Amino acid sequence: MAFGIFSDAEWALQRYIGSGGSNPIETGRDLDRFFSLTLETTLPLAMINQRVDLLWHTFIEHTELYFDFCLKRFGHVIHHRPRSSALPIAASAVRNFYAVYQQVYGEVGPEWERDAAPEVVRFGRGQIESLSPNLRWSGWPGLVLES
């Protein structure tokens, strides 16, 4: 099976399918888009879609292959961070995702929002002012540039 953008990481999509993951081509495209956003900003970005996050989790299980993939494709490792009290991802990461995605790809569409928490969607679209402190998501913590 050919996976286009993930042709050099087909093993990750095969494992995702084997673990019950759905829509592998769309999911792979969306994860690649998320990864590509890390080239457009240094700000933290929330992973709002649970299906795409599952593929990301599957991918990082093989840390050496994942690190090699990230370094070759993007020039840096795209760290995955769950939102927790120990290493929080600010709520602003949700709005950052919406803003940067819109700049690069256009409006965040239903393929992203159908597997996202409704509260996250409303916050990302600016329809509510804050998120519940107990709400969980993950994301990329951003890139700290050396000065």
Asked if the structure places residue 135 within a domain, the reply is: no
Instruction: Name which of 13, 112, 26 is nearest 61 in CA terms.
Output: 13
**Average pLDDT over the chain, rounded to whole?**
87
What does the pLDDT read at residue 100? 98
Among 122, 132, 142, 134, which Cα is nearest to 48's?
A: 122
34, part of any domain:
yes
Residue 145 lies inside a defined structural domain of this protein = no
Residue ranges making up the domain that contains 117: 4-128
Q: Is position 118 within any domain? A: yes
Altogether, the residues listed in the chain come to a count of 147
Domain membership of residue 47 (yes or no) is yes
Q: How many distinct structural domains can be found in the chain? A: 1
For the segment 118-131, the average pLDDT, to the nearest whole number, is: 95
Is 103 part of a structural domain of the chain?
A: yes
Position 137 in a domain: no
* pLDDT tier, 80 (very low <50, low <70, confident <90, very high otherwise): very high
The pLDDT, as a whole number, for residue 25 is: 84
* CA 75 centroid distance within chain: 17
What are the structure tokens assigned to 63, written together? 């840390």
- Give the pLDDT score at 126: 95
Type of residue found at 88: P
Identify the bridge partners of residue 139 per DSSP, sorted by sequence position.
46, 81
pLDDT at 144: 64
pLDDT at 5: 61
Q: Kindly state whether residue 83 falls inside one of the protein's structural domains.
A: yes
pLDDT of 137 strictly over 90: no
- Please tell me the predicted confidence (pLDDT) of residue 17: 84
pLDDT in tens, 47-66: 999 999 999 998 898 899 89
Give the neighbor-by-neighbor strand order of the sheet with 138-140: 45-47, 138-140, 81-82
Distance CA 123, CA 89 (A): 15
Q: What is the mean pLDDT of residues 99-115?
A: 95
